[in-house]
Amino acid sequence: MTWVNRTFNTWQNSLTIASASDLFIKIVYLVLIWSTVKLLFIGNVVWGDDYFILLSDPFTGPDRFAMLLNIPEVRSYYLLFALPFLGLIVAGLFGFHNVLTRSVVWFLFINLHFGNGSVSTGGHHLIQQLLFFHIFLFQVNDKKSSYLSSLGRFIHHLAHYSIWLQIAILYLVSGVWKLKGDLWLDGSAMFLTLSFKEFGFPWLANTINENTFFLQLLTWAVLAYQVLFIVLVWIKPIRKWVLLFGAIFHISIIFLIGITDFGLFMIASYSIFINNDLADDILRKLNPKRVIGVSA
Amino acid sequence: MPVQNSSSYRLPPAILWIIILGFSLHFFSVLGYQFGNEVLPKKLNVIIDRYSVPWFYQNYYMFAPDPTYHINSFIYRVETDSGWSDWQEPGLEELNRHWQNRFGNSSDMYDMFYGLSNALFDGIIFVNFIDNPTDENWFSLPAHNAAERYIKKNSTYADAEILSFQVGVKTEHHFFDNELHIQKKEVFQKYPIKTIQR
């Protein structure tokens, strides 16, 4: 039996990554709850009538449904997008989700995301893609035996690894475009970025007077990480070290550069790489019944 | 009747390959959208664009190919019965809050001001290409309209009786000198004063 046939059979017979997918959905939803709630406090400016961004409504036909909040008359009803979205992801956090709710979450996120391009980051673009794939994370019990169940398990595996690939594509695209410039290759990109108080802190911008070897090394390390991630992440023995580097990088983006959404979305997306056994362990420990001490 | 286990329900390989083909085509279009412009036939690029935008549109170009050399800030002032106000920089107030709390919504407010600043900056370039531009050329810019919306609806002067207002863009430009130190230069560009019609 070839490797391909073996994989096809395994992916149809049992859901070997069910807990990893489940944990991924919960962590992404948790970060989305934070992001949505903080924006709801200024919702009327972000999505509603008090906007001062430039709206863009270039599409006709079905595509217009992705940009509904760019239609001024629709913005008065932004809560009809934001609140159901919030409700569905809160319910999803507690395990109440299915293919329909996940599809609606993707659709509403697209509208909320495109409803204000100014607050968008690469993390938002990534999450939009990951939420598309999460639609196909069908929860099919291993004990269910039917052609439909086998199909569900097979597609779940494909969607799960598509999320891996999509994260890797983000880094590849970002890295390759950086290679087309000058400053990442000559090691001064980080120096220039941190010289702006807007991408750090005033004290930091005023302190860094010249490009140190440390800043150059940091610039090249980030570039190498982004270009090589698509290869390195598939190599099991080094995966956790690769992800650890990435997590530290994204945490520093949160606290140093200050692009919090991007950093948190990226760290949340890393949860898809958590080993299924570990994910299972984490989910059992976080089980609400266990947390509040109710016996099952 | 014997119970069949899940391994008895194997789908025909052709169906599985069709599903894999669907996912592969999706990723082909994702990569084609990012890198295909120079290598793929024009007709294929059109199809890929049609598929990708807007539902699968993705932009990962922040700080690429190079980080920005300049940052624009939105500035405005208003005239009320008590005279002209000082120049206000609302984005800076949000930045101050963001430096104190990275997890609040101040960065989102700042991002909106930043987007407005860039649009106002682009507007200046656009109008400067018009021969003998009139005030109407300036005031009809979408960026100026957005700034006016902010001043009238969101600013600290929203409740005041505004007689006229003026917007501008402060640009902080960074560049490397001969010794590879970063030098800073600031340019302040103003739009014409707009009087509110009553």
User: Which value does ipTM take for this structure?
Assistant: 0.93
Tell which B residues from 177 to 196 touch A, by Cβ distance under 8 Å: 180-182, 184
**What is the mean predicted confidence (pLDDT) over A235-252?**
96
- Residue B139 inside a domain? The answer is yes
User: CB-based contacts of A258: which residues, under 8 Å, 6+ apart?
Assistant: A199, A200, B98, B99, B102, B107
Q: Provide the pLDDT for residue A1.
A: 63
Mean pLDDT lowest for which of A195-204, A238-247, B4-13, B17-26? B4-13
- Residue B149 inside a domain? The answer is yes
- Residue A296 inside a domain? The answer is no
B83 contacts chain A (CB < 8 A): no
Interface probe for A, chosen from B56, B100, B111 (most Cβ of A below 10 Å), is: B111
Ramachandran region, residue A172 (left: φ > 0; alpha: ψ -120 to 50; beta: rest):
alpha
Query: Contact, B112 vs A116, CB < 8 A?
Result: yes
Chain A residue with minimal CA distance to B141? A54
**How many Cβ atoms from other residues are within 10 Å of residue A284's Cβ?**
10
pLDDT at A50 over 50: yes
Using the beta-carbon criterion (under 8 Å), do A121 and B11 form an inter-chain contact? no
Three-state DSSP class for B196? coil
Distance CA B130, CA B148 (A): 22
Q: Provide the pLDDT for residue A293.
A: 66
Given pLDDT bands bounded at 50, 70 and 90, which one contains residue A292? low
Q: Provide the pLDDT for residue B5.
A: 55
Q: Provide the pLDDT for residue B1.
A: 43
Tell which B residues from 22 to 81 touch A, by Cβ distance under 8 Å: 23, 26-27, 30-31, 34-35, 53-69, 71
Cα-to-chain-centroid distance, residue B9? 51
Q: A-chain residues within 8 Å CB-CB of B3? A: 145
Using the beta-carbon criterion (under 8 Å), do A63 and B7 form an inter-chain contact? no
Sign of CA dihedral B53, B59, B65, B71: positive
Given pLDDT bands bounded at 50, 70 and 90, which one contains residue B171? very high
Q: Provide the pLDDT for residue B3.
A: 45
Nearest to A116, CA basis, from A42, A166, A170:
A42
Mean pLDDT lowest for which of A56-60, A75-79, A133-137, A141-145? A141-145
pLDDT at B146 over 80: yes
> Mind telling me how many Å the CA of B95 is from chain A's nearest CA?
7
Distance CA A37, CA A85 (A): 11
**What is the mean predicted confidence (pLDDT) over A50-56?**
96
> Mind telling me how many Å the CA of A19 is from chain B's nearest CA?
19
- Residue A232 inside a domain? The answer is yes
> Mind telling me how many Å the CA of A293 is from chain B's nearest CA?
31
Q: Provide the pLDDT for residue B2.
A: 46
Three-state DSSP class for A187? coil
Q: B-chain residues within 8 Å CB-CB of A180? A: 64-65
**What's the total number of domains in chain B?**
2
- Residue B1 inside a domain? The answer is no
pLDDT at B75 over 80: yes
Same domain for B43 and B77?
Answer: no
Sign of CA dihedral A35, A36, A40, A43: positive
Tell which B residues from 100 to 139 touch A, by Cβ distance under 8 Å: 102-105, 107-112, 114-116, 119
Given pLDDT bands bounded at 50, 70 and 90, which one contains residue B159? confident
Same domain for B45 and B81?
Answer: no
Q: B-chain residues within 8 Å CB-CB of A178? A: 63-66
Given A150, A170, A209, which is nearest B10 (Cβ)?
A: A150
Q: Provide the pLDDT for residue B142.
A: 97
Same domain for B43 and B112?
Answer: no
Q: Provide the pLDDT for residue A294.
A: 59
Given pLDDT bands bounded at 50, 70 and 90, which one contains residue A46? very high
Q: Provide the pLDDT for residue A141.
A: 84
Same domain for B95 and B173?
Answer: yes
> Mind telling me how many Å the CA of B83 is from chain A's nearest CA?
25
Distance CA B78, CA B168 (A): 12
CA distances, B190 to each of A205, A239, B138, B181 (Å): 27, 52, 11, 30
Sign of CA dihedral A160, A98, A95, A35: positive
pLDDT at A247 over 70: yes
- Residue B75 inside a domain? The answer is yes
Given pLDDT bands bounded at 50, 70 and 90, which one contains residue A209? confident
What angle separates helix A79-93 from helix A18-40, to the nearest 10 degrees? 140
Helices (H), A209-272: 213-232, 236-252, 260-269
- Residue B2 inside a domain? The answer is no
Same domain for B37 and B75?
Answer: no
Using the beta-carbon criterion (under 8 Å), do A145 and B8 form an inter-chain contact? yes
The DSSP 8-state label assigned to residue B71 in this structure reads E
Beta bridge partners of B173: B70, B185
- Residue A178 inside a domain? The answer is yes
Token pair recorded at residue B10: 């194997």
Q: A-chain residues within 8 Å CB-CB of B104? A: 38
The DSSP 8-state label assigned to residue B175 in this structure reads E
CA distances, A160 to each of A22, A41, A164, B113 (Å): 10, 33, 7, 38
> Mind telling me how many Å the CA of A158 is from chain B's nearest CA?
8
Same domain for B46 and B75?
Answer: no
Q: A-chain residues within 8 Å CB-CB of B107? A: 258-261
- Residue B35 inside a domain? The answer is yes
Nearest to B109, CA basis, from A40, A32, A45, A257:
A45
Domain holding A168, by residue range, is 3-291
Q: Provide the pLDDT for residue B183.
A: 94
> Phi then psi for A39, rounded to 5 degrees?
-75, -30
Using the beta-carbon criterion (under 8 Å), do B55 and A66 form an inter-chain contact? yes
Same domain for B48 and B77?
Answer: no
Same domain for B104 and B30?
Answer: no
CA distances, A275 to each of A171, A278, B97, B164 (Å): 21, 5, 39, 62
- Indicate the average pLDDT of chain B: 94
Query: Contact, A106 vs A131, CB < 8 A?
Result: yes
Cα-to-chain-centroid distance, residue A1? 36
CA distances, B153 to each of A45, A118, A225, B150, B196 (Å): 10, 18, 45, 5, 14
What angle separates helix A260-269 from helix A122-134, to the nearest 10 degrees? 30
pLDDT at A25 over 80: yes
Same domain for B146 and B173?
Answer: yes
Query: What number of C-beta contacts closer than 8 Å exist between A and B?
Result: 203
- Indicate the average pLDDT of chain A: 94
**What is the mean predicted confidence (pLDDT) over A199-209?**
89
Same domain for B19 and B84?
Answer: no
- Residue B62 inside a domain? The answer is no
Same domain for B40 and B113?
Answer: no
**What's the total number of domains in chain A?**
1
Mean pLDDT lowest for which of A67-71, A185-189, A207-211, B25-29? A207-211
pLDDT at A296 over 60: no
The Cα angle at residue B42 between residues B40 and B43, in degrees rounded to 5: 110
Q: Is the peptide bond before A62 cis (omega within 30 degrees of 0)?
A: no
Quote the percentage of chain A above a pLDDT of 90.
89
B175 contacts chain A (CB < 8 A): no
Chain B residue with minimal CA distance to A261? B103
Q: Provide the pLDDT for residue B160.
A: 87
Same domain for B91 and B180?
Answer: yes
Q: A-chain residues within 8 Å CB-CB of B11? A: 12, 147, 150-151, 154
Q: Provide the pLDDT for residue A6.
A: 92
Domain holding B14, by residue range, is 9-52
